[in-house]
Amino acid sequence: MNFLNSKKIHFIGIGGIGVSALAKLCSKNGIIITGSDINESHIIDDLKENFNAIIKIGSNSDLITKNTNYVIYSPAISKKDTEYRKAISLKIPIISYPEALGQISKQKTTIAISGTNGKTTTTSMVVEVLKDQGINPTVIIGGILKKYNSNFIQGDSEYFVVEACEYKKSFLSIFHDIAVITNITEDHLDYFKNISEIQSAFIDFIKNKKNKGILICNEQLNELNPIVKYSKKNKIKIYDYSKYLLDDYNPLIPGEHNKQNMATTLSVIESIGLDVDRAINYLQYKFSGTKRRMEKVGFTKYGSLLIDDYAHNPEGLKFLIETINKKYINKKIILIFEPHLYSRTEDFKKEFGKILSTVDILYLFPVYKAREKYQQAKDFLLKKYIDKKDNFFIINEPNKFKEIFESKKYNENYIVVTAGAGDIWKKGLELKSKNI
């Protein structure tokens, strides 16, 4: 049975960025939506107000009844969860969020965008360019598209554009006509043992091709060598995006990483047979982007520009800091950083320390534990790896942080940047006094 033929679906972990997008898709297909999550959020509010979803905070098995046709759960959910067990007891079909994406991908011409960094921005670029050229894809993305203020778009074309995450190999559920790999670096080492295991997962991802299959990647990246070798051996057509890494091609949103995202997008457009020149023009002058990617939030009371970014690994932080330094040459950077996951922070502590030491002023928040257990002793484990004697501050009491910016010390000569994959973006909103 195809879950999209259901009358009623319950979502466990409905507040997640991906699961919520899937719930919206189901609602648009006339399905009654119920769900649960551990916290209230703007995503939950959106689902309630605009998609008629019935949502409870905390595990609430009462929402699952014999009239529930399917239960879809986030990979972050334990199979010991009371709602999960209730579905089992009632013999209701249960599938994970990635498995649900897999069902959709089999039914449409699927562009699956993967990679360690750049997935969300590249996905947003592909979506905006496709729509500019008259193609309206169905979209599920791991971020909020600024232009559409949503992580979901209901399309009417054959195309399905989806962000494909490698964590726990969830992307192996997706079947693709066009597979995109932006790049590969060591990440998610709480799951993968090393880079070789990550590369093997990406090879398995490529194996999920439909028809002849197309791969978009940069053949010049050493980390992609095993994937490229496998693809050539199996006669998968490769579009090497490095040919679009030209000085003349600069996206509206700055940064070397965004030039890579733009180049990747142009190769996708070429592979479909659309107008590459028109795509170049769009990305250079019209591209809206995604929230939390070099997003200008506003200004502080005394004129510091506020920028928010999702950067949460060393490479992402490096791209972010270098881009801001180049764009705002005469300004000093105040970085407000919230590490994401104890495991990631531990795995890359030296790399984090090196890049964090390069900013003018650093405010370090406790680690955002996300799916991990609270480990207070590790909240500031980066402290001893950061080589800064001055202008480095540990924030033990986040609730009092706003007071620091009530003085005239931080004026228009500073750029204030919030960075991290957790809730640090909320601090930027607290500091905001003026709109852009």
CA distance 341 to 5: 38
CA distance 415 to 328: 8
pLDDT digits (tens, 9 = 90+) for 203-224: 999 999 998 899 999 999 999 9
Higher pLDDT, 90 or 185: 90
Q: What integer is the mean pLDDT of 336-354?
A: 92
* Contact by Cβ (8 Å): 232, 200: no
pTM of the model: 0.83
Decide if pLDDT at 124 tops 90.
yes
pLDDT digits (tens, 9 = 90+) for 146-168: 899 899 999 999 999 999 988 78
pLDDT digits (tens, 9 = 90+) for 390-416: 899 999 887 778 888 877 888 899 999
CA distance 125 to 117: 14
Domains of the chain: 3-97 (3.40.50.720), 108-285 (3.40.1190.10), 295-431 (3.90.190.20)
Decide if pLDDT at 189 tops 90.
no
- Mean pLDDT score across all residues of the chain: 92
Strand 32-37 to strand 8-12: parallel, antiparallel, or no bridges (unpaired)? parallel
Query: What are the structure tokens assigned to 381, written together?
Result: 């484990």
Higher pLDDT, 179 or 301: 179
Strand 392-394 to strand 361-364: parallel, antiparallel, or no bridges (unpaired)? parallel
Q: What integer is the mean pLDDT of 329-334?
A: 94
Give pLDDT, residue 274.
98
